[in-house]
Every structure is written in C-alpha cells, then in structure tokens.
C-alpha cells in the first residue's frame, strides 16, 4: 500500500504523527514529511491517521502496478 498527503490541504494538526509516528514526521513545528510505502505492520496505524486527519488530507491505497500496460 501507498499513502500520499495532500499538503495543499494540510494545516499541520499533526494527528497523523501522534497516531503513526514511524510513518509521519514533523520537521520543526509544521513541516510534515512522511514515508510513502506502508509496511503491513503500519497499515492499521496509517488508516487511523487517515480517519483522524482534521482536514481529510491523507489518501491510502494501492499504487498502479509496475507491470501495468
């Protein structure tokens, strides 16, 4: 699974960092960086983060598969 954060919407409430600190990081007070690839053991936390995002900016889903043609 992959995740992407719509940082256009993000207002740095950091709920995702609290709920899935291995996937999301704040650099300074507001700059949000995250890992795109969601390992199996982080999926539940990432889903919680997506549900909790106050501006609903987190999308979790499958990537287009590399063999697509």
Using CB under 8 A, list all residues that contact another protein: 1-4, 6-15, 17-22, 25-37, 45, 47-48, 51-52, 54-56, 59-66, 68-69
- Residue 8 Cβ, how far from another protein at the closest point, in Å? 3
At 35 the three-state DSSP class reads: coil
Residue recorded with tokens 């507001």 = 30
The Cα–Cα gap between 1 and 60 comes to 7
The Cα–Cα gap between 33 and 26 comes to 6
Of the pair 8, 40, the CB lying nearest another protein is at: 8
Of the pair 29, 40, the CB lying nearest another protein is at: 29
């Amino acid at each position: 699974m992959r995740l992407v954060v719509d940082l256009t919407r993000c207002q740095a409430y950091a709920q995702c960092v609290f709920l899935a600190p291995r996937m999301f990081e704040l650099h300074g007070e507001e700059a949000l960086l995250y890992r795109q690839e969601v390992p199996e053991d982080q999926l539940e936390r990432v889903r919680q983060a997506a549900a909790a995002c106050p501006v609903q900016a987190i999308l979790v889903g499958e990537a287009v598969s590399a063999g697509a043609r």
